Structure 1
C-alpha cells in the first residue's frame, strides 16, 4: 500500500507546543502557538488550548497613546519542519497511512528545541525518527522503515 505525504482531512486547531520559550533573548514576547490538523496534533500528543490567549498592544494615536487587547494567533503557513515517523502511521480523521507530517515553527521555538523534544525529550515516544529542516537538510537519529 502506498503511503501519502500528509493528511488533508480535518480542521486545524490552535495548539501550544510543550517546548520552546515565551520570550526572546531581548525580552520581546515570542509565541509557542501553532495551527495544526487535529489528527496530527493527536498523533504527536499535543493538546488544543481551551481559551484564546490575549496580549496588550500599545499604539500611538493623535491624542497620545492607547492600549487595546488583541487575541494571539498561531503560526500557520510559515517556515515548517517535516517530521518523519518510524513506520507509516494512521492519522485520525484521514484515510490511509502517512510517513511524514509538516509542523510549523512559531517564533518562540527553534529547530534545536524540536530536535531535543522528539529525540530525547517527552516526544520520544511519538515515533518520530527524523526531520527535514526548513532549509531542506535531513536529520535522522533512528532507523525508519518506509515502504
Structure 2
C-alpha cells in the first residue's frame, strides 16, 4: 500500500525521487498531457525503506538497476497540482543515483516508456537548460550544479 492519502484539505504523499546525472545532464520526465517535468521516483509503500523504494521505482519505470550514491535532500513540499486542482503536502527523499550499466544511455536523449498504460517521456537535459523548464520541485533548477555532501532539509511552500 502506497503511503498516500486524501483528505478534505488535500492529499499527503510520502515519496522518493532519484537524480540520475550523466555528462552534466539530468534525467527528467514528463507525463503525457502534463505541463511540467520532474525526476523519476514514486511513492513509498508501507513498511518499505526509502532506499528500497527508489530502487524499486527506477526498476519499475525504467527497467534499470541503479546504485545509490547518497541521500541529498529531504524535501517538505506544499503545493497545488494544477491539472488535478488539488493541494498536496509531500515529503520526498531525493537520492543521487548512478547507473550500474551505461548501456541504458543508448536509448538516446529522449525516449518514451509505457508504464502500465501511463506514457512517460524521458529527457537528458543539460543543467543550464533546466532553469527555463517547468521543472518541479523548483529547487532542483539551482541546486543540481552544487549537490550537497551532507543531507539537507528543504521546505517549499507554493500554495
Using structure 2 for the length normalisation, give the TM-score: 0.30
Q: Which has the larger radius of gyration?
A: 1
Using structure 1 for the length normalisation, give the TM-score: 0.32
